[in-house]
Amino acid sequence: MSYVTHLECSKCNKQYNSEEVHQLCECGAPLIVKYDLARIKENFRKEDLKDREPSLWRYWELLPLKDKKNLVSLGEGMTPIIKMEVAGPEIGLNNLYLKDEGIIPSGTFKSRGATVGVSRAKELGIKTLAMPTNGNAGASWSTYGARAGIKSVIVMPQDAPEITRNECAITGADLYLVDGLISDAGKIVARAVQKYGWFDVSTLKEPYRIEGKKTMGLEIAEQFNWEVPDVILYPTGGGVGIIGIYKALRELQTIGWIGEKMPRLVAVQAEGCAPIVKAWEEKKTESEFWNNASTCAFGITVPKALGDFLVLDAIYKTNGCAVAIADNDLLEAQAVLAAKEGTFVCPEGASLYSAARKLREQGWIKENEKVVLLNTGTGLKYPETVNVKVPLLQPNDNIPEA
């Protein structure tokens, strides 16, 4: 049993039957999952969570799966929130937290979208899925696809993190590299999907990935004991996480689990690919394609996101903002977080620390506000971002004093 009532277009509000397989609305915009929140409010209690496993599926009533037999899970979610006791005060923030999405199967937040998306795909009888990816989404969907017995066809830029190739390969996906960006991979997938009738799981082209990402917002609310923080910073490529977190918090308000206060949502991008930041600075509601996109924070190299208008809406509605960070700044932040806090975050996640510093300097964040950096993945998947110079000893050599 699920509480889903229907799918609804995020632009034109046209409704679709959630028991059928749908991709985009006929107007070209993403479809959103709608629930009977009034009935959830009646039947679902915070206390129910006490007896549930520490996975994102603890929020079953707010998720779209009907039958537990279709659940495709690897124990994902309830990732830790860690206080930055040293790195926080160093940039003038006394209540800085990092939610660490590195502690999840496949090492990135992409697995949230994958567990829900693949479970629902299985429930709807999908046999083959296809997607363009900057690496991590492809790795996660291949992984959950393998567990579900669904075939995955993955196309990624040749510059995507190499380890994500290994994950796709070992889980048995059909993997292709492209001499180009994710937008090029997207066009190749679109042609193939058209030709072979595969299910297109490109960002926001199916409605269930958002529901998985949404659980980051649910967890933040629960982990802060239903008193939401003041600011959440999020590294923004396709932007599904920020869209999902906003949706989660709105749903929690509707069922009465949190009050009227909303965290200010901050989209962080790299200076080498900052279409959302540009749009926000120009007070626009949609972004423009970013030419010659390039950054070492590869996961957020998305020149034009299909859901850009939803990301911008979430920022405007929560009085948030958008910030662009230079590659050298975010790499420095990565080293600071590792050395001061023991958190080895991905470059995308590291950009948030630079952004928090910038916003604190500008006075946009106050020193005692509760601030959450949503680190989207583990640094383990990006070994090339670390400089290692290490002496080689022979067995009889001695080491100098530390």
Q: Report CA Rg, the chain.
A: 21
| Binding region for a copy of itself (CB under 8 A) out of 2-10, 15-23, 170-178, 318-326 | 170-178
In the bound state with a copy of itself, the residue whose beta carbon lies nearer, of 124 and 163, is 163
Using CB under 8 A as the binding rule, the residues of this chain from 39 to 58 that contact a copy of itself are 50-51, 54-55
Task: Give 7-12's long-range contacts (Cβ < 8 A, gap of 24+).
Answer: 7/31, 7/32, 7/33, 7/34, 7/207, 8/32, 8/34, 10/307, 10/309, 10/310, 11/309
Is residue 1 involved in binding a copy of itself (CB under 8 A)? no
Number of residues that bind a copy of itself (CB under 8 A): 87
Using CB under 8 A as the binding rule, the residues of this chain from 123 to 152 that contact a copy of itself are 128, 143-149, 151
Q: Where are the beta strands (DSSP E) in 213-279?
A: 231-235, 264-270
Q: Out of 61, 123, 167, 206, name the contact with a copy of itself by CB under 8 A.
A: 167
| 373, 352 contact by CB (below 8 A) | yes
Q: Out of 192, 230, 250, 332, name the contact with a copy of itself by CB under 8 A.
A: 192
Q: Out of 60, 66, 74, 94, name the contact with a copy of itself by CB under 8 A.
A: 74
Q: Site mask, a copy of itself, residues 320-359, x = CB under 8 A? A: --------------xx--xxxxxxx---------------
| Binding region for a copy of itself (CB under 8 A) out of 17-25, 34-42, 157-165, 234-242 | 157-165
Q: Out of 159, 184, 327, 369, name the contact with a copy of itself by CB under 8 A.
A: 184
Sign of CA dihedral 37, 42, 47, 51: negative
User: Measuring CA to CA, which residue among 297, 109, 132 is closest to residue 210?
Assistant: 109
Half-sphere exposure of 88 (CA within 13 A, CB side): 19
Is residue 119 involved in binding a copy of itself (CB under 8 A)? no
Q: Report the nearest approach of a copy of itself to the CB of residue 190 (Å).
A: 11
Is residue 398 involved in binding a copy of itself (CB under 8 A)? yes
Q: Out of 20, 260, 282, 401, name the contact with a copy of itself by CB under 8 A.
A: 401
**Residue type at 287 in one-letter notation:** S
**Residue type at 315 in one-letter notation:** I
In order of 77, 227, 336, 350, the CA distances from 354 in angstroms are 26, 25, 10, 7
| Binding region for a copy of itself (CB under 8 A) out of 20-28, 186-194, 245-253, 322-330 | 186-194
Q: How many residues does the chain have?
A: 402
**Residue type at 85 in one-letter notation:** E
Q: Report the nearest approach of a copy of itself to the CB of residue 107 (Å).
A: 6
Tokens at residue 336, please? 């600071």
Using CB under 8 A as the binding rule, the residues of this chain from 264 to 323 that contact a copy of itself are none
